[in-house]
Homo-oligomer: A and B are copies of this chain.
Amino acid sequence: MAVKAQVLYDFTAEPGNNELTVQEGEILTLTNQSIGSGWVEARNSRGNVGLVPEDYIEVKTILIISFVFAINGNEAWTATTWSNNNPANNLNHAEQEPAGNNGSVYSFDEEWDDDSDDGKSTGGYGGSQAEEGGTMQRGGAHSTMKLSLNKFPGFSKTPNPEVYLLTKHISKGDDRLPIYMGEVGPVWLYPQIQLDCVVADPKKGSKMYGLKSYIEYQITPNTTNRPVNHRYKHFDWLYERLVEKFACALPIPCLPDKQVTGRFEEEFIKMRMERLQGWMSRMCRHPVISNSDVFQLFLNYRDEKEWKLGKRKAEKDEIVGVKIFSNIDPELPELDPAQVEQKYEMYSQFTRSMDNSVKELLAVGHLHWKRCTGPLQKEYRQIGKAFQNLSSVFNTSAYPREYTLKEALTATGKTYEEIAEIVAGQPKKDLHFLMETNHEYKGLLGCFPDTIAVHKAAIDKVKEADHLVVMNKISQQDKLIMEKNLSTMSYALQAEMNHFHSNRIYDYNRLVQFYLEEQVKFYETIAEKLKKALGQYTTM
């Protein structure tokens, strides 16, 4: 299948870099998505092929799937098949389950052997795309949750949301997810001590007598201070469980990309570790996720047996999909559906606008990074070389009063050469963190539409309730229960949005502050260096 992408921002190719100049709005065909380092190869309508930054494009296949999901929900996900309530869908989905995901405790090690995580056998994008049945890169240019991609059997087991809305729920003690009225509105219950963990110490492991090798990361939670080991595929397993269980209520950000060319293995491992750390920290910060059995298992299992048993249990968890709302216990006055709808519109609008804004920052950051490490470095080197060449020429004058100027010019030239390296190294110091965090937010924001869609579908159903009462499909009592349940769902989304806002303010405050601090250091360092060079000249 030819993957299409739409260009989000104008991009001008640097000559000699195999790049492709593209215009905003242009449609490209992706010819190679496994380039890595933020680049993809694409062909334009005139048949020209070249590299384009992945941040500048939006993959169209995903857009189409989302579209299908929104317009004709039963295509992708039974949770929205309200009026076309056909139980056969569930069966269909069940049949599509990959066999391995029902695997016993003993088949664990072989489960996803195709999905090698040693950075060697992952040939590239195209391959893994085929394996995963059309999923795109994670956390990359599109970043929707897997919700819409009809892969996860968990969702085929979830009850129809109509059933959730029509059922009177009594929250159970242990699994209860309370929501309180905080200063900013409805909020989740936050733990006294915030969970956190350190992802560190990547080690190469192997199995099958050394035929397969992989990287294992050490994760140490602040609660036990006892490290556990996990491979990338275990993170992936955790991610899939979290999506199954929580994605109707909480946007679960994608894991960092699985696909890369293995050429820069060390650098890649470091980058993946950093991104897994970012993902884990975000999960730890979430009061609902961090407190869940599956997440606790991932961080705290004591031995292989405990892990495998816990894993099996998690895979059989019944409280997944919209069922999660039955655990939610707002203990707050019921909300008016009209108000709820208004809030959803605002959330939709906000996350969409922020998504655009984050993409804009990424695009301009990407451009700036490229300029610093490319033309600017080259130019400062040239300036440095020009001063040094002038100094060399002056040195041949045989004029007796040459020495001071010659030395000063050499120092000036060397200073500009140093500046070239400082300029080229700067993005790693300041832009890197800004880009990484925005990249993470892009992933997170990409999950909101799916989550909000569940809520919007519920509103539509409640709106239809009067009609359904007349049609004798539901009773007046059912309608009131639906409204109560919608209110509960709404509190969940509000709590989640407030969690998002609070984290966002913390993150952006920290990231721009850090960026500016590094920028100040950068300009001050250069000014200091130039002052030193200036000191070599004779004053006049």
Interface residues of A (CB under 8 A from B): 12, 15, 21, 183-184, 346, 349-350, 353-354, 356-358, 360-361, 364-365, 367-368, 371, 375-376, 379, 382-383, 385-387, 389-390, 392-394, 396-402, 404-405, 408-409, 412, 498, 501-502, 504-506, 508-510, 512-513, 516-517, 519-520, 523-524, 526-527, 530-531, 533-534, 537-538, 540
Contacts and interface: CB of A to CB of B under 8 A. Distances in A.
A508 B358 CA distance: 47
A412 B508 CA distance: 12
Given A183-B400, A184-B399, 9 more contacts: A350-B393, A356-B393, A367-B379, A367-B382, A394-B508, A399-B501, A402-B505, A509-B540, A523-B524
Nearest to A537: B513
B393 A505 contact: no
Within the oligomer, what is the number of copies of this chain? 2
A62 to B, nearest CB: 23
Contacts of A523: 523-524, 526-527, 530
A21 to B, nearest CB: 7
Given A509-B537, A523-B530, A524-B523, A364 B350 contact: no
B353 A408 contact: no
Contact of A396 (B184, B353, B368): B353
Given A353-B393, A367-B379, A393-B353, A510 B540 contact: yes
A24 to B, nearest CB: 14
A393 B392 CA distance: 55
A358 B391 CA distance: 11
Nearest to A399: B501
A350 B396 contact: yes
Contacts of A15: 12, 21
B540 A401 contact: no
DSSP majority for the A interface?
A: helix
Contacts of A390: 354, 357-358, 360-361, 508
Contact of A357 (B389, B402, B505): B389
A383 B412 contact: no
Contacts of A408: 509, 512
B405 A389 contact: no
Contacts of A358: 390
Contact of A397 (B12, B350, B531, B533): B350
A534 B430 CA distance: 14
Contacts of A387: 361, 512
17 contacts: A184-B399, A357-B389, A357-B390, A360-B386, A361-B386, A364-B386, A368-B379, A399-B498, A399-B501, A402-B501, A402-B505, A412-B512, A509-B538, A513-B537, A516-B534, A524-B524, A524-B527
A530 B426 CA distance: 16
Contacts of A382: 364, 367
A407 to B, nearest CB: 11
Contacts of A393: 350, 353-354, 356-357
A412 B513 CA distance: 10
B512 A409 contact: yes
Contacts of A394: 354, 504, 508
A12 B538 CA distance: 38
Contacts of A379: 364, 367-368, 371
A387 B509 CA distance: 12
Nearest to A400: B184
A349 B398 CA distance: 12
A527 B534 contact: no
Contacts of A527: 520, 523-524, 527
A360 B375 contact: no
Contacts of A353: 393, 396
A84 B360 CA distance: 74
A404 B390 CA distance: 51
A520 B530 contact: yes
Contacts of A350: 393, 396-397
A438 to B, nearest CB: 9
A21 B12 CA distance: 15
A14 to B, nearest CB: 8
A368 B508 CA distance: 33
Contacts of A509: 404-405, 408, 537-538, 540
A144 to B, nearest CB: 20
